[in-house]
Structure 1
Amino acid sequence: MRLVFMGTPDFAVPSLRALLDSRHEVVGVVTQPDRPRGRGKRLQPPPVKEAALAVGLPVSQPAAMKEEGFLLGLKAWRPEVIVVVAFGRILPEVVLKMPEKGCINLHASLLPRYRGAAPIHRAVMNGETETGVTTMWMAPQLDAGDIILQERVPIGPDATTGEIHDRLALVGAELLVRTLDLVAAGRAPRHPQDEALATYAPPLSPEEEVIDWTQPAEKVYNLIRGLNPWPGAYTLRKGSRLKVYGAKILDTTNVGPPGRVEAILEAGFVVQTGRGRLLITAVQPEGKKVMPADAYLRGYPLIPGEVLGCG
């Protein structure tokens, strides 16, 4: 089948590469415009654009999905199907109706759970033990189209969002090729989603990055691994942000002043939560790289009794 691929971040790159290695023909790629990134705020291309240009694929980066020039170019590609993977924009009806065989989306959750922009983060932050990927027929409503295929992926108790992201990207790429083979053969199923089971994964807010030490140890731990490696959970120490990237639950029953440093150990430092204690093992001070907590302590000594989270 002739297809147009729409995607933007790293998560979508394995899917694009898998399609290029399949029997289907990728005739064009649509991705978000270049954005300023890094300390110098230089314009940087999205990862999907870099991957597409590396193999000589034509790339379109519309500022708006209803631009006349973009729509004419998309139509000129004559796609039989449009494939969407973490594109970051809602497709207007004119695009949804354009390909003969429809539009297919790969979503990083077991729909109808975790519809929306941050399904991987939310699953880890909520302490889920399982997630997965779903391919679906796209509909005007957000992530509400009929399901084609799903693949389940376990979330280990210590897994981070970054680890699950990379696993789902690979599993999703394989699932997408299987899905398109079914579409090409006219055998792709349509399983309506149960709206009663739908949950949502809205974008992360800056406020959610702040560690609330009054929460139980399990919840703080899930936040830390759920925001690892991006954007990172943080606490305040003497007015500066201290991001926390590694932690272990020591117990879930001990009660004391939340945020208080209880002890300094060889592997890091112990912090009291609302219920239970965490051993902090990896941190990132402002303006520095991520480092083991013991290395941090050598440059920024902590004293038992100090309370984190205070300005």
Structure 2
Amino acid sequence: MRIVFMGTPEFAVPSLKLLLEQKYNVVAVVTQPDRPKGRKKTLTPPPVKEAALSFGLPVLQPERMRSAEAVGALEQLQPDLIVTAAYGQILPKALLDIPRLGCINVHGSLLPKYRGGAPIQRSIINGENKTGVTIMYMAEGLDTGDMISVVELPITDEDTSGTMFEKLSIAGAELLGATLPSIIAGEAKAVPQRNEDATYAPNLTRDDEHIDWSKSARALFNQVRGLSPMAGAFTYLNGEVFKIWNCEELGNGAAKASAKAPGTVIAADNNGIQVQTGAGILVLKNIQPAGKKPMNAAEWLKGSRLEAGTLLGDGGTV
């Protein structure tokens, strides 16, 4: 058995390690090219590359997996099976046809819901109470292949994208380990997806990070959790970007009795910054003012004046 593993972020690392721990013959790892990161734009390798090199595995980093050169490099490896997990590019048919056992993908959602590049974040942003991992055969479309196995996990109010990425990466690796024997033996029973039930999870944009205070406190609570700790949600304070990393929902009752405009600061004290939304009060707990690091809102208030009645979100457009 010759396996090529394809993945990029931290989510994929447990699946790669599982293959190695279970003594599968991983002949190469394919990942995205190193990218500039941080304020200094330091060229940084993806987590999967770092993991692969630590195990002494050959690493390929084609810019475009659809190029004839990239497909040719994969053909020379003569894989029996290709395993992908959050690789980040749609694979061409010419590549999918190379391994005799096909290509399988470890996808972070309960397919056919949340096909696409940001299934975990959008599950939380949309207020889902459960998600999971689906292992499927890969097809030419976007996460459209037949499903082989599934594991389901709850999403709690305490979860963020960060906690769910970790939980699902581990669950996905375990599911991969349990599923591979049937694939290798030719006994896997794949089920076609119901395309009529499909929903999509496109990659996040700056618009997805911008807070619209006319939405309910619950919707904004979910938005903040879904963007933490990666991008972060943001509003404006005095014309400058003001990020929100953690918050709590007080409920809908206060909104009915309030004539305050959405985005109005109701109170700012040791409990955090209370902000009126379209339905309910949102308490900002961890924030990041422009030019500063993330910090506890109560600590920031000790050295900054933020008076009740201040309107957030009036400083500009996205």
Query: Same-fold call, TM > 0.5?
Result: yes
- Give the stretch that moved more between structures: 62-71 or 87-96: 62-71
Q: In the alignment, which residue of structure 2 is the partner of 1:45?
A: 45
Q: Secondary structure at the match of 2:175?
A: helix
State the 1:253 CA deviation: 2.8
State the 1:68 CA deviation: 3.8
How do 1:55-66 and structure 2 match up within 5 A? 55-66=55-66
Deviations 1:252-276 (A, max 9, x none): 1323311111112322111100111
Partner letter of residue 9 of structure 2?
P
Match of 1:290 among 275, 280, 294: 294
Q: In the alignment, which residue of structure 2 is the partner of 1:310?
A: 314
Q: In the alignment, which residue of structure 1 is the partner of 2:129?
A: 129
1:261 partnered with 2:269: no
State the 1:287 CA deviation: 2.3
1:280 partnered with 2:278: no
Deviations 1:152-205 (A, max 9, x none): 010002311111111001100111122212111221111010111111111112
- Give the stretch that moved more between structures: 124-133 or 291-300: 291-300
Deviations 1:240-291 (A, max 9, x none): 1111111111121323311111112322111100111011111011222211
Q: Secondary structure at the match of 1:235?
A: strand
State the 1:117 CA deviation: 0.8
Deviations 1:121-161 (A, max 9, x none): 10000110000000000011110100000000100023111
Partner letter of residue 210 of structure 1?
H
Contact 2:269/2:301 (<8 A) preserved: no
Partner letter of residue 105 of structure 2?
N
Aligned length: 311
Distance 2:85 2:41 in 1: 26
Partner letter of residue 90 of structure 1?
I
Q: In the alignment, which residue of structure 1 is the partner of 2:17?
A: 17
Distance 1:195 1:23, change over 3 A: same
State the 1:115 CA deviation: 0.3
Distance 2:62 2:116 in 1: 22
Partner letter of residue 307 of structure 1?
L
Distance 2:245 2:23 in 1: 42
Distance 1:188 1:287 in 2: 53
1:270 partnered with 2:302: no
Tell me, which stretches of 5 or more residues in structure 2 are unaligned? none
How do 1:1-311 and structure 2 match up within 5 A? 1-255=1-255, 256-311=260-315
Q: CA RMSD in A?
A: 1.1
Q: Secondary structure at the match of 1:104?
A: strand
Tell me, which stretches of 5 or more residues in structure 1 are unaligned? none
- Give the stretch that moved more between structures: 115-124 or 20-29: 20-29
- Give the stretch that moved more between structures: 60-69 or 215-224: 60-69
Distance 2:68 2:114 in 1: 33
State the 1:58 CA deviation: 0.3
Percent of aligned positions with the same letter in both sequences?
49
Partner letter of residue 292 of structure 2?
K
Deviations 1:14-72 (A, max 9, x none): 11111111132111001111111111112111111111011110011112224344333
